[in-house]
Amino acid sequence: MTDTAGTGQVEAVEVADAPADPHALDAAHAELLERFERELGDAVIESARMHGTPVVRVRRDAWRQAGEVAKSRLDCDYLSFVSGLDWMPAPKEGDDDSSDTSSPVQPQELTYGVAGSEGRFQVFAFVQSTRHHVGLIIKADVDEQAMLVESWVAVYPGADWHERECWEMYGVVFDGHPALRHLYLPSEFEGHPLRKDFPLLSRVVKPWPGLVDVEPMPGDDTPAEASAAAEASAADGDAADGDAG
């Protein structure tokens, strides 16, 4: 309500509705988060919301317990994935300035996502209830020196391949995994390709295992080879014409 002309007559002014919070939880997800935090107690470090899904960071020593609570007490019977996070900014290829260690789409300083982190590496998992149609993201910090957390395979058998991939790509060791071995890469492969400091140029300096020389397909000759082939053909034609004369 406002007097726009100073006449004493008050006009109603419409106020636009505030935009809805895109991260707000519906009642079912809010209840799921409350129950999870109640069950874990002081093992919960921080919780947040992301696109309508609860995100909870738990203590590293409670990682296995978090999975057990989600499945047995919250009815989250489906494990969508287990994976890793490396919050280190990605280095720029070919940049000699060590003070600028970020590619254009990455921050230049160590920053953390939803629910925070205490260091560079984390593991996270997304579990869902197929009956109640709700889900929860669970995170835990990983010690950069030890790189060790408990395995979820005994809780969610489907974690088997996910944990193998996380170990292979990030170097996280899952204690209690029945057979932690390579999933995609050959056993002699060195390093963890999804770490931000993994040198992508190593494939030029040191060929990847299994790299072999392959003969080009017909028509795939290089310009130099094509030119040489054309000259040889022309020379053969001239020789044939000389013989005919």
* CA 179 from centre of chain: 23
Identify which of 20, 22, 132 has the alpha carbon closest to the alpha carbon of residue 74: 132
Q: Return d(Cα 100, Cα 95) in angstroms, integer.
A: 8
Q: Yes or no: is domain 27-201 CATH 3.30.460.80?
A: yes
Q: Which amino acid is at 78?
A: Y
The residue with greater pLDDT, 89 or 85, is 85
Identify which of 71, 86, 90, 76 has the alpha carbon closest to the alpha carbon of residue 141: 86
Identify which of 50, 54, 70, 72 has the alpha carbon closest to the alpha carbon of residue 62: 70
- Using one digit for the tens of pLDDT, what is the confidence trace for 112-141? 999 999 999 999 999 999 999 999 999 999
What is residue 56's three-state secondary structure?
strand
What is residue 136's three-state secondary structure?
strand
pLDDT at 92: 62
Average pLDDT, the chain: 82
Query: How would residue 198 be classed by pLDDT, with cut points 50, 70 and 90?
Result: confident
Query: How would residue 23 be classed by pLDDT, with cut points 50, 70 and 90?
Result: very high
pLDDT at 232 over 70: no
Start-to-end CA span in the chain (Å): 107
pLDDT at 207 over 80: no
Parse the chain into domains and list their residue ranges: 27-201
pLDDT at 241: 52
The residue with greater pLDDT, 58 or 227, is 58
